Amino acid sequence: AQKVTQAQTEISVVEKEDVTLDCVYETRDTTYYLFWYKQPPSGELVFLIRRNSFDEQNEISGRYSWNFQKSTSSFNFTITASQVVDSAVYFCALSAVWTNAGKSTFGDGTTLTVKP
Amino acid sequence: GAVVSQHPSWVICKSGTSVKIECRSLDFQATTMFWYRQFPKQSLMLMATSNEGSKATYEQGVEKDKFLINHASLTLSTLTVTSAHPEDSSFYICSARDRLQETQYFGPGTRLLVL
């Protein structure tokens, strides 16, 4: 079985603050992909990043950065200098290549509110 | 990036009617498409996996006779909610997997309201 845990249900910050969204996963597969998606109030899911299990390099994309640590089964997401437009629900997801037929399992999501 | 469309984007229907939702991959071929349901303030729940040319695989607890899935081509999958009831009101999202990239691309979703 595979599982994704996003322990933070809601986070509220003031604009320009940095914020980290936690994601912890479980899988028996050695080959898997991890994802982050953003869901703004409109409902549409926006793909942010995909990371495969063999690539532990951290990644930075503008104000976004991701910290993948296999030792702790975590894939955390940091937004630097947050903006009001970052307010959304963020989902972490896991897709194992060989088990579970490649289906994605989503965490419960973290609702981020950035106040001006 | 790859684009997935859904139609309609929202639908209101009377209880007992059937509703068809289309999911199309616009610029890539998707041998596999997934259908999710999302209730307010909840996560996405996988309903079924749709494979082109074969029967869909349903998740435990999802009624296959109520949620009919057809994956007629490499770019089109349809979900039909038969004899819809108010408890079927939800946000339905499809995704299409680009096998080359192992990434799922999500459609914009369809909001269904059954009166």
Sort A9 into a burial class: Cβ within 10 Å, 0-12 / 13-18 / 19+: exposed
pLDDT at B51 over 90: no
Pairwise CB contact (< 8 Å): B106 & A107 = no
3-state secondary structure at position A28: coil
Give the Cα separation of A95 and A36 in Å (integer).
Answer: 12
pLDDT at B42 over 70: yes
- Contacting residues for A56 by C-beta, under 8 A, at least 6 apart: A68, A69, A70
3-state secondary structure at position A86: helix
Q: Which of A44, A45, A103 sits opposite B49 (nearest CB)?
A: A103
Q: Using one digit for the tens of pLDDT, what is the confidence trace for A51-105?
A: 989 988 888 999 999 999 999 999 999 999 999 999 999 999 998 877 666 788 9
Pairwise CB contact (< 8 Å): B108 & A101 = no
- Check if B83 contacts A (Cβ < 8 Å): no
pLDDT at A22 over 90: yes
**Mean pLDDT across chain B:** 91
- Check if A54 contacts B (Cβ < 8 Å): no
Q: Which of A101, A103, A107 sits opposite B43 (nearest CB)?
A: A107
